[in-house]
Amino acid sequence: MLLTDVLLLDVLSVITAILAVGYAYLKWTQQYWKRKGVPYIEPSPLFGGSKSEVKNARDGAVDIYKTAKANGWRHVGIYRLTNCIYIPIDVELVKHILTKDFGYFIDRGLYVNERDDPLGVNLFFLSGQKWRNLRAKLSPTFTSGKLKAMFQTLVDCGLVMEKYIDENVNISEPVDIKEILANFSTDIIGTCAFGIDCNSFKEPNSPFRATSKRFFFRTKLERYKSAIAMTFPKLARALRIVINNPEVSSFYGKVVEDTIHYRLKNNVRRKDLLQMLIDMMIDEKNQEDGQSDGGLTMTEIAAQCFLFFIAGFETSSTTMTFALFELAKHPKCQEKVRDELKRVLAKHGDQVTYDALGDMKYMSQVIDETLRLYPPLATLMRQCVKDYKVPGEDVVIEKGTKVLIPVLGPQMDEEFYENPKEFNPDRFDEDKRKKIPQYAHLPFGEGPRICIGERFGVMESKVGLTCILRNFKVSLNEKTKLPMKLDPRNLIPAVEGGVWLNLHKLESKI
């Protein structure tokens, strides 16, 4: 036998041995929940996830929840490659994890690469004490007073949207309502987060719109990189893997840096989020008592503005889109919203004011019901930071275990919502919502890590819906494909083919 043949056999033997050991390790890992005595979903042979989850994470999460409920399980274990993930099903367990025992689950367990992806170091991704420090600094930026200061900006953007529809939308032609609302949201977040007039209705292909679209649409390669980063974070950091597109990060980083330098050099001030962060940076730099922890850096400010833009732009425009989709299908609900608009605006001098939004109770119900059916995220992620004894169970969740909180599953559960597939805002009226468990409606999360921009997002959605519904009656156009299907490639739910509506001009504006 030739030497080369011997070497080839040796190499093949080594490869075979490595594969055999790897497979054996994978199979041993996928017995973890069985050894712990936790009910589990039978994993697929290679990737670990259930078949539906591998195909579509959003639908898969609901299927897992339904399977667990049907079997009467309070919790369930699943696998993703070598990750063993714990899922609480009982809403009382969810309450413990998100709030009561938050100290055990302070982290989200998301991939962070500070060296190569500085804009990823934002409030959503950070963990431990870094998260606590930053949350404490940012919380004052979303008080009622600060929201009121930014409110007129939202109204002004709404007026621009109204004018655009009046001048450019042919009432005999359907409109892709998501595009209109995305322009509205881009203008709001661009102004409030960056202090920049995006003019999205005049420049629909502006850098802000193009860059935001690029962020939310992930290629297969990017999705694979994210999966590797989440499963093997240490290896991913060693390989310098980033999950945010470098061009997107570079764009937003430069926008923030240039804007801050311009404002400081020219002594320019605006009533927006960026100004609050700049003031925070300056105030802490000027402290002389030695107690400052260093304040916000330029990179940290850029990271928070980036998060605010990405989260605020897409979630609000998506929520408004689905709300109008459902109101178009349910004209009685739509008329009820419009009747409330007439009554409330008349009370406030026919002006859209901050206090007027607070009086729009039924519109709040519409938004709550929309977020029940179409939450931005189907699940919430947490990570156990120290061994945790599950209440009422002889099970200990070990430090480092990832925890997946179901959001869409409970929100579509007949135990909590009668006819859950039906759009019914009345289920959230003041009396009926008391019967809904708090932790069975989690579109913004709950506990100390609840979405910091929740009130801003609802305020933005109310302004957008008001500007459209006080001028137009909306109905569903046949270009909207029914039954509606969501695009699995998008991070936030997006309708395949778009939501196309007919806009019928009202005889008199409300």
User: For residue 116, is it within any domain?
Assistant: yes
Reported as a pLDDT band with limits 50, 70 and 90, residue 13 is low
Q: Which of 197-206, 292-301, 415-424, 432-441 has the lowest mean pLDDT?
A: 292-301
- Both 351 and 277 in one domain: the answer is yes
Reported as a pLDDT band with limits 50, 70 and 90, residue 407 is very high
Residues contacting residue 131 through CB under 8 Å, at least 6 positions apart: 106, 107, 123, 449
Q: Return the number of other C-beta atoms located less than 10 Å from residue 121's C-beta.
A: 22
227-241, 392-406, 495-509 — most confident range:
392-406
User: For residue 498, is it within any domain?
Assistant: yes
- Both 500 and 355 in one domain: the answer is yes
- Both 8 and 120 in one domain: the answer is no
Asked whether the predicted pLDDT for residue 291 surpasses 50, the reply is no
Alpha carbons 164 and 202: distance in angstroms, whole number:
9
- Both 169 and 21 in one domain: the answer is no
Give the residue, 487 or 433, on which the prediction is more confident.
Answer: 433
Question: Do 61 and 380 touch, CB atoms closer than 8 A?
Answer: no
- Both 8 and 148 in one domain: the answer is no
pLDDT at 47: 56
Alpha carbons 72 and 89: distance in angstroms, whole number:
9
Q: Crossing angle, helix 298-329 and helix 207-216, to 10 degrees? A: 80
Alpha carbons 50 and 61: distance in angstroms, whole number:
9
- Both 15 and 139 in one domain: the answer is no
pLDDT at 298: 84
- Both 19 and 101 in one domain: the answer is no
User: For residue 75, is it within any domain?
Assistant: no
Question: Do 236 and 229 touch, CB atoms closer than 8 A?
Answer: yes
Segment 212-218 shows an average pLDDT of: 72
- Both 182 and 322 in one domain: the answer is yes
Give the three-state DSSP class for 281: helix
- Both 274 and 391 in one domain: the answer is yes
Task: Summarize pLDDT for 355-401 with one digit per residue, the tens.
Answer: 999 999 999 999 999 999 999 999 999 999 999 999 999 999 999 99
User: For residue 74, is it within any domain?
Assistant: no
User: Distances from the Cα of 341 to the Cαs of 155, 347, 353, 480, in angstroms?
Assistant: 15, 10, 12, 27
Task: Summarize pLDDT for 252-268 with one digit per residue, the tens.
Answer: 888 888 999 999 999 98
**CATH code of residue 316:** 1.10.630.10
* Chain centroid, CA 144 distance in Å: 22
Asked whether the predicted pLDDT for residue 32 surpasses 60, the reply is yes
- Both 25 and 128 in one domain: the answer is no
Residue at 365: amino acid letter: Q
Query: Domain range for residue 373?
Result: 90-505
User: Distances from the Cα of 51 to the Cαs of 18, 28, 47, 63, 404, in angstroms?
Assistant: 26, 20, 9, 10, 17
User: For residue 348, is it within any domain?
Assistant: yes
Task: Summarize pLDDT for 323-336 with one digit per residue, the tens.
Answer: 999 999 999 999 99
Segment 475-494 shows an average pLDDT of: 86
Give the three-state DSSP class for 459: helix
- Both 9 and 134 in one domain: the answer is no
Residues contacting residue 13 through CB under 8 Å, at least 6 positions apart: none
Asked whether the predicted pLDDT for residue 288 surpasses 50, the reply is no
Question: Do 314 and 362 touch, CB atoms closer than 8 A?
Answer: no
User: Distances from the Cα of 387 to the Cαs of 126, 235, 320, 478, in angstroms?
Assistant: 21, 24, 41, 54
- Both 140 and 15 in one domain: the answer is no
Alpha carbons 295 and 283: distance in angstroms, whole number:
8
Question: Within 13 Å and on the Cβ side, how many CA atoms surround 92?
Answer: 6
Asked whether the predicted pLDDT for residue 169 surpasses 80, the reply is yes
- The annotation places the binding site for heme at 451
User: For residue 206, is it within any domain?
Assistant: yes
pLDDT at 20: 63
pLDDT at 309: 82
Question: Which residue reads 């939310």 in tokens?
Answer: 216
pLDDT at 353: 96
3-state helix vs strand vs coil in the chain, percent to 5: 55, 10, 35
pLDDT at 44: 73
User: For residue 382, is it within any domain?
Assistant: yes
The whole-model pTM stands at 0.90
- Give the number of domains in the chain: 2
- The annotation places the binding site at 451
User: For residue 459, is it within any domain?
Assistant: yes
